[in-house]
Amino acid sequence: MTTYKSALEHVRAVKAKLGGTWGAIHPEDAARMIVQNRFRTGLDIAAYTASIMRKDMAEYDADSSKYTQSLGCWHGFIAQQKMIANKKYFGTTSKKYIYLSGWMVAALRSDFGPLPDQSMHEKTSVPALIEEIYTFLRQADARELNDLFRALQKAEDAGDSAKAAEIEAKINGFETHVVPIIADIDAGFGNEEATYLLTKKMIEAGACAIQIENQVSDAKQCGHQAGKVTVPHEDFLAKINAVRLAFLELGIDEGVIVARTDSEGADLTQKIPVSKQKGDLASQYISYLDTKEIDISEAADDEILIKRDGKLHRPTRLASGLYQFREGTQIDRVVLDCVTSLQNGADMLWIETPTPNVAEIAHMVNRVKEIVPNAKLVYNNSPSFNWTLNFRQQAFDRLKAEGKDVSAYDRAKLMSVDYDNTELSNIADEMIRTFQADAAREAGVFHHLITLPTYHTAALSTHELAKGYFGDQGMLAYVGGVQRKEIREGIACVKHQAMAGSDIGDDHKEMFAGDNALKAGDASKNTMNQFGG
């Protein structure tokens, strides 16, 4: 990592070699700008963040309490504020990632306007959002370092060498806001070549981890909705290979692939793969199809039949041409998907479940671990779950199994406010609070994310502000509900001009134009100075 002194020495050497006419270029200014821009390309970011993820994965393998977390972000500013908050409240960005949700790209970032999560949005909007997020995170680095360099200059001007050394140490030990992004490529947006090309764009934008699912690309559905259609393993593995080769081509040797299976909620497939011998992957996939034994005399012209155990079978087929899987095969198919993916190039798994239940997740993962002991999950703590109702029902069932009296509760109506602050609701809330730690310990979950949280927080906070501002609270709705809280919490964004880069811009103007610089931060006329700090 470049230190301020090493950058300074480098610029001085370059100036001595080439800078005969560079009299206006101060090495201190150039060194400062180099340090404030640690990552020059998206590939620099991808390589750095991939190494972070690999280190975190190894630490989790040794100690399951060292799991990682992220929140889904739909704009660079949202991601930036999330990471600034992590540094403010926890002093570090360690083990705190960013999730880029295909759902939110579709709903919020498409030129078509809001779209369902069906891969109808422009594929280029995904790498564009990755690039945007890292632009905002790098700006957060530059802003915080800019304040440190201002303080360093002040200490040096005052001749306070001890203070200057202290500040320079902070600059050299600065922890970046740039963290890994787990980026959703949906089902790959087309064939293997399309997946490969889009993956390269995502990596070049900075992505170190690509999450890809085993649905049919042109029939893709949200993981929490019906109508999902999976592909045979061979098709999915071809896309995993495409992603890996894209990483290797671009020099991101430690790139991470998250293989997502939607088989738990999918009961359809688009095609029957070719089996070369009984028991191979294609044969196992075909074995899960719903079929009915028939006599050859019952077969229609041009009908597709399957030979099974010496008998002819008619696969159940919809009018759309899609084939139906047998009921009760979901978990077996999930386990096969997971094992196959891990044995053929994937680094981690993503399993969509109908409810957030640690025991149910563990049941599937433990079967995978029998074959791949270090199997790890990325788990969606989805807003599509009714967390309150689910965990109150789990608490109800636990109390009942323990022989406790649950006659005061109606299991079907546990969402009711009437049950708030009861013994059952308190147990449920504690289960929710510890869910991530419990699932990391018992169900192999390395990374916990919430896919759509900032979609919901943006909606809720905007609704609250509109309700008060356009109602009888008027301006107090903003002052009391927003600004006063920002000031008292010490949230940097209250000084929105500085957050948008005005201080950095002023310092750059001075570097570029010297005393001729026209700066925005004049103390007597800058209203942002009302906020102190």
Catalytic residue numbers, as ranges: 222
CB-count exposure of residue 436 (10 Å: 0-12, 13-18, 19+):
buried
Spell 486-508 as b/e; 16+ CB within 10 A means b. ebeeebbebbeebbeebbbbbbb
Is residue 121 within 8 Å of 109, Cβ to Cβ? Answer: yes
| Gap between the Cα atoms of 24 and 2, Å rounded | 24
Amino acid at 402: E
User: Residues with Cβ < 8 Å from 426, sequence gap 6 or more?
Assistant: none
Strand partners, 501: none
Nearest of 364, 431, 443, 343 to residue 60 by alpha carbon: 443
260: three-class secondary structure by DSSP = strand
| Gap between the Cα atoms of 251 and 72, Å rounded | 27
Question: What DSSP line would sit under 304-332, residue for residue?
Answer: --EEETTEEEEEPB-TTSPEEBPTT-HHH
Question: What DSSP line would sit under 18-38, residue for residue?
Answer: H-TT-TT--HHHHHHHHHH--
| Gap between the Cα atoms of 171 and 190, Å rounded | 45
